[in-house]
Amino acid sequence: MTADRRSVLRTAARLAAVTAVGALSACAPGPTRGTGGQGPVDPPEGSAGYSLRPSPAPTAAAAAPTPTPVLSPPAAVVPAVAPLAPGTPGEVVNGPRGRAEVALTFHGEGDPAQATALLERAEQHGVRLTVLAVGRWLDQQPQMAERILRGGHELGNHTQNHLDINALTPDQAHAEIAECAERLRRLTGSIGRWFRPSAAQYANSMVREQARLVGYEHCLSFDVDPRDYSDPGADLLQRRLLRSVRGGSVVALHMGHQGTVDALPAVLEGLQRLGLHPVTASQLCT
């Protein structure tokens, strides 16, 4: 082969290599829109999707490929709540009687499908609930914390294991409140505003003190209990509730009971006829 022939072949090979590199560069993903080239966009606040943690930028000496990004569940965003009204007691049984508002509060435990159906029915009527979650339920159904908050509802603490908290020692009561608070903080970034005593309508002084030490300035009791946990049926449940409720009432209800899910639309319509509007416990006390 002549020198001229070898020179032509080398030039052709260099041109082919440059063309290949240019093609690869054209197919490489560019910066994600809205990130300034810093990595993927996190989902919007309250999104049920997952966010990607961007992998560290490779160095020149790195021989291994860039690690695959790790999926992590998003933290639920706790809606901002207004300060409570001055003079709000350490244990709230009801809100101001002169207001045409009531708070529908729920023991948070049970079948997540029923809990979701209950939330959806409330949302269809433009109503927001207050859910006092049991910690062991959050261990089993952690997605429910995000779902409750994403719907604009309020989330609080109903102890870790739903024991008779007034019968416990101070250390035991503290542990029950603190363990549930830790789950709430881990899942949502906040322990919530309200603590409701378990297996009791009212917290005794020892339980109120232990709740305060965990970070709860206010316990949430109730003045209307239609005993939906006994599964009386949707019709009887809504009659019991509507004949007892009045302005400022805090109503105690339970997730995990199909009769409560079935009764909710009639309850909301009945409250409207009475001129009462359901709000969260915090809204009732602002």
- pLDDT score, position 81: 77
The per-residue pLDDT for range 158-175, each reduced to its tens digit, is 999 999 999 999 999 999
The per-residue pLDDT for range 31-81, each reduced to its tens digit, is 332 333 323 333 333 333 222 223 333 333 333 333 333 333 444 456 677
The per-residue pLDDT for range 260-279, each reduced to its tens digit, is 999 999 999 999 999 999 99
- Residue 280, C-beta contacts closer than 8 angstroms, at least 6 positions apart: 81, 103, 128, 129, 130, 153, 154
- Could you tell me the CA-to-CA distances from 209 to 178, 205, 218 in Å, in that order? 12, 6, 10
Q: Which residues pair with 105 in a beta bridge?
A: 130, 252
Residue 172 region by backbone torsions, left for phi larger than 0, else alpha for psi between -120 and 50, else beta: alpha
- pLDDT score, position 67: 37
Task: Tell me: pLDDT of 3 over 60.
Answer: no
- pLDDT score, position 43: 32
Mean pLDDT across the chain: 81
Between 240 and 59, the higher pLDDT residue? 240
- pLDDT score, position 77: 59
By three-state DSSP, how is residue 130 classified? strand
Q: Report the candidate in 139, 140, 157, 145 with the shortest Cα–Cα distance to residue 116.
A: 145
Q: What is the Cβ-side half-sphere exposure of residue 267, based on CA atoms within 13 angstroms?
A: 28
Q: Which residues of 86-119 are buried (b: 16+ CB within 10 A; e: fewer)?
A: eeeeebbebbeeeeebbbbbbbbbbebeebbbbb
Question: Sign of dihedral through CA atoms 151, 102, 260, 163?
Answer: positive
- Residue 178 CA to residue 215 CA, distance in Å, equals 9
